[in-house]
Homo-oligomer: A and B are copies of this chain.
Amino acid sequence: MDNIFEHIPADLSEEVFQQLAGNDKVQIERIVSKGQSSPESGWYDQAHNEWVMVLKGRAKLCFEDLSEITLGPGDHLDIKAHQKHKVSWTDPDVETIWLAVHYQD
């Protein structure tokens, strides 16, 4: 047993990705951010679906139609394969802990 709020890396100059469980078809991942956002020029355009939930902190996700949503603890959504998106903001003052489930159709 492990706790998703514990063992936060001291160095958060880069986002930290850590697989918690899964296999080659499904990956359950913790992401810890602190102030990072996606590169201005780049969109995530993934071949798989990604369900995400914020567990701590705050983040903004932007979509190709330029709509933006703010996620706080407990907020979750399902990002379908090839639904272009980017992380436009994460809280610079506290770590933002995400849970992501990557899964194929």
Which residue numbers of A lie inside 8 Å of B, CB to CB? 1-6, 20-23, 25-26, 28, 49, 51, 53, 55, 69, 71, 73-78, 99, 101, 103-105
Contact = CB atoms under 8 A, between A and B. Distances in A.
A53 B4 contact: yes
A65 to B, nearest CB: 15
Q: How many copies make up the complex?
A: 2
Contact of A3 (B2, B51, B75): B75
B20 A51 contact: yes
Given A25-B25, A51-B28, A3 B74 contact: yes
B104 A51 contact: no
Interface centre among A3, A4, A20, A26 (most CB of B within 10 A): A26
B23 A76 contact: no
